[in-house]
Amino acid sequence: MSTDQAGASPAGERLGGADEAHAPGERPAALEQLQQSLAQAEQRAGEFREQYLRAVAELDNVRKRAQRDIEAANRYGLEKFAAELLPVQDSLELAVQSAAQADVEVRSLKEGQEATLKLLVKALEKLGVRPIRPLGEPFDPARHEAMLAQESASAAPDTVLQVVQSGYELNGRLLRPARVIVAKSPGAA
């Protein structure tokens, strides 16, 4: 049977029959239940919207705070470094003043330079700068720069024979590789 012939589909008959089976007072109860469900859903949606807005505001605050921290780090990040180097500058200024005097001894200038160097080494150590002095160690291309390969009967091949210039690391990160002379086997090309 088609819907045209019967006037209604079987589903329509069931819905119509269900509607007709309820008393007229029950239909508003179903509508009231739907309205309550809608009101609850709208309330939850409002709460979720409020939570979302709070989260967005908090995220914006975190972003702004991080931006201020980055700006402060850029502006004042060298403060500790500069404070550690000020005594070195003071020592160098004293050395220049001493050298300007006509009766200054070479030995006292040397002692002043050694004291200044100690101050500088101490300041760099406080900042986490460590020297790389690989004399006698195996050559490591990640930490060393080979300036020359030299034949050696006493050292194993690819061993550091001489450190031409110390390298440095900052908290384990390479600042400058050590420049070295590396041993090679006698007769090796």
Give the Cβ contact number of residue 183 at 10 Å.
24
Q: Taking the CA atoms of the chain, what radius of gyration do you get in angstroms?
A: 41
Q: What is the pLDDT of residues 47-62, one digit of tens each?
A: 999 999 999 999 999 9
Q: Can you tell me the distance from the alpha carbon of 189 to that of 178, in angstroms, rounded to the nearest whole number? A: 24
CB 143 within 8 A of CB 185: no
Q: What is the pLDDT of residue 102?
A: 65
pLDDT of residue 187: 75
pTM: 0.56
| pLDDT for 166 | 92
Separation of alpha carbons 92 and 73, rounded Å: 29
**H/E segment holding residue 14:** helix 10-21
| Ranges of the chain whose pLDDT falls below 70 | 1-27, 102, 188-189
- Kindly state the DSSP code that residue 139 receives in the 8-state scheme: P
